[in-house]
Structure 1
């Protein structure tokens, strides 16, 4: 009797039509198909973000406080070395707020790119066992980075109140635009790098070097005025201010660094709003390209991992 029942179940499974998962053709899923699939797995995405945060601070007595240690250490180093020893603080009012604003934006970008690059390799065991949209692993890194960013941003806001210069002005509208540029751009880049890192593990080490270069190519520990004074009126200046990360940093400084936004001696590029809107549009293009590259490469992840 048991054998007959087993045979009946087996026959039903054989007769059941096959349903494709993952790639549907050689070019991978369409972008909208990927979005719909990610939304269908949104609860799992939330759990992955929670798991990532718990794993990061597991067995730590200070917990989330550690997310502040690195930027605070950087702030102290740059404030003393560049602000005091090199004299940058004399021409940049509220230098500590200026630097911490830039570090907060940079921290969001670098964490998304760094964590996103290793997200597929780091979840190899799960990827090889079950099918699920692989994009959720880089996206989980985005969620974890946003959590840490919100903690740092809360400290930044508190600091502006303590110093008596809270951002009660219209330029505070630059904040969401800056965040959007960073998140969209970094997510697109993380998708590409996470896929490439599966096939070439040197990618994650190269990313660290490139991020270091990009850090010093952004107005985080020096003002845009220094750049304007050195290469103003040249194509190099236009290239510098075409960088979406640079524009996102400037937008956040314009919003949160009140002493600088109210100081007529500080330099801000013309049409900052327009430049940032263009940067956001370019970032969405990067995101789309990143998803398409990821979709093409993901079919071979299980074999490579």
Structure 2
């Protein structure tokens, strides 16, 4: 029997009756303990992997339901951002004359940022948007934010096609030696975003203002990340202001490291002599490994918070 059939084929169970059936005995939901149950919850998610796949497909289909252009809309936002920032910052402010292949430089950063915001924004509202299933059917509630992660990853893969097209048009290709940074940066981004998404999804059930705070927070975070400007401006400005140590604080931003890794690996302009000043040569691989390790701990903590909160989801919804 498939995971979807298991979830939908049985009688609906309320949220506070999380059922673990052994023979004829049923254990009613009890609040999860902090230091026990993480791996049991992971195994349960794996057992429902077929249902997770169905939820990912649902996320993709619902998003573009009755849409003539379908997945093309996945490309509209980053392309529009690319156009606006290229004109406003690249042309009017002159960054395009200083940074070689400014359009590709922009798009590599926007590519990483779009995946991050899709996961965070979608995960935050994932429980509320699936309130009907949450209240009627038992399944691991982690499946809902995880389905957003899966759907966002598919959209990310679609957007990569635009970047490949840019390489073909410009005739410039990134150095193969740096491409290994892409999967490392992608793993770091997904771990970090999933951890935040789990906590925000749970918090949003109890406090609906969270989704609006997330929108404001992401806007501020965007401008704290070197996407539409280069990192050298931050370093030189802080050095001139007599506080060079603040640049080290700035680099504690996980998304700054992810974006710089995407730029190093996927931006051909950084390979030219003219582009050398904008090519961040810090220990990005080591930074990403450290951030990934911290994100794993954060993911454990987020899952335990989520597990302790989910018993009250149906009542709050």
> Do Structure 1 and Structure 2 share a fold, with TM-score over 0.5?
yes
Over 6 Å off, 4+ runs: none
Structure 1 residue 196 displacement after superposition: 0.4
Partner of 2:269: 259
Q: Which of 248, 253, 266 is the equivalent residue of 1:243? A: 253
Work out the CA distance in 2 between the residues paired with 1:201 and 1:28: 28
Structure 1 window deviating more from structure 2 (101-110 vs 29-38): it is 29-38
Q: Deviations over 1:214-240 (max 9, x none)?
A: 001001101111111111462210011
Unaligned runs of 5+ in 2: 1-22
Q: Is the 8 A contact 1:29 1:295 kept in 2?
A: no
User: What is the aligned counterpart of 1:135 among 138, 142, 146?
Assistant: 142
SS at match of 2:180: helix
SS in 1 for 2:225: coil
Aligned to 2:20: none
Q: 1:229 to 1:25 in 2, by over 3 A?
A: closer
- Cα distance in 1 for partners of 2:193, 2:27 equals 31
Q: How does 1:182-201 map to 2 (within 5 A)?
A: 182-201=189-208
Structure with max Cα Rg: 1
Whether the aligned pair in 1 keeps the contact of 2:182 and 2:262 (CA below 8 Å) is yes
- Pick the aligned partner of 1:231 from 218, 235, 238: 238
Residue pair 2:38, 2:303 contacting (<8 A) in 1 also: yes
The aligned residue for residue 315 of structure 2 is: 303
CA contact (8 A) 2:108 2:263 kept: yes
Shift of 1:259: 1.0
Structure 1 residues 163 and 22, CA, compared in 2 at 3 Å: closer, same or farther? farther
Taking structure 2 as the reference length, the TM-score comes to 0.88
User: Structure 1 residues 302, 252: CA separation in 2 closer, same or farther (over 3 Å shift)?
Assistant: same
Match of 1:122 in 2: 129
Residue of structure 1 equivalent to 2:9: none
Contact in 2 for aligned 1:160/1:256 (Cα 8 Å)? no
Unaligned runs of 5+ in 1: 1-15
- The answer for the alignment partner of 1:206 in structure 2 is 213
Aligned residues: 290
